[in-house]
């Protein structure tokens, strides 16, 4: 009986061990739908885009404060991206405000025809619940861009092509 219980418990506990990364983050910012078809983290960044991209395609990610509305887009791909940029050199677990001079900035970046439009979150939080040994980050977002919300939870993979 004890052996059977151990098998049942170990099966239940390890059912999450092989789970796939996901992102249920979404919302609308100035008419642009924020959704998560691709999602990665690396260095001081967490990025979710509305188009399917591989880790190799994420070369364009850079520190969020360098993005300037109206500048040339950092990628030729037309996309809507939600990007978090930490002031520190890497992500760490905790709940972070994105308001004012916060340690984390949240931007929605829209690239279209080689131009870029940038929206910064007015308020809200990014919560990093866990950074696992197998380079996954689990957490949630609750952001406001003027009167529009972007919310959801995620479990995203490391991408070595995203650098600080």
pLDDT in tens, the chain (164 residues): 443 433 333 333 443 455 899 999 999 999 999 999 999 999 899 999 999 999 999 999 976 556 888 888 989 999 999 999 998 877 889 999 999 888 899 999 999 999 999 999 999 999 999 999 879 999 999 999 999 999 999 999 999 988 76
Indicate the domain borders of the chain.
20-158
What three-state secondary structure class fits 151?
Answer: strand
Q: Tokens standing for 161?
A: 């092509």
The whole-model pTM stands at: 0.85
Residue 151 to residue 164: CA distance in whole angstroms: 25
DSSP string covering 36-80: -SEEEEETTEEEEESS---GGGGGG---GGG--TTSBPSSSS-EE
Residue 141 to residue 105: CA distance in whole angstroms: 12
Confidence at residue 10, expressed as pLDDT on a 0 to 100 scale? 37
DSSP string covering 92-122: -SEEEE-SSS-SEEEEEEEEETTEEEEEE-S
């Amino acid at each position: 009986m004890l052996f059977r219980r151990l098998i049942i418990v170990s099966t239940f506990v390890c059912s999450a061990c092989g789970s796939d990364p996901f992102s249920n983050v979404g919302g609308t910012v100035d008419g642009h739908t924020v959704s998560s078809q691709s999602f990665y983290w690396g260095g001081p960044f967490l990025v979710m885009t509305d188009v399917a991209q591989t880790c190799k395609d994420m070369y364009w990610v850079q520190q969020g404060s360098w993005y300037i509305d109206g500048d040339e887009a950092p990628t030729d791909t037309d996309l809507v991206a939600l990007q978090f940029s930490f002031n520190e050199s890497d992500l760490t677990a905790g709940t972070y405000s994105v308001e004012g001079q916060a340690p984390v900035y949240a931007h929605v970046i829209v690239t279209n025809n080689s131009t870029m439009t940038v929206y910064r979150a007015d308020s809200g939080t990014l919560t990093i619940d866990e950074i696992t040994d197998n380079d996954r980050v689990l957490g949630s977002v609750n952001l406001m861009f003027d009167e529009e919300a972007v919310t959801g939870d995620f479990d995203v993979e490391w991408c070595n092509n995203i650098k600080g």
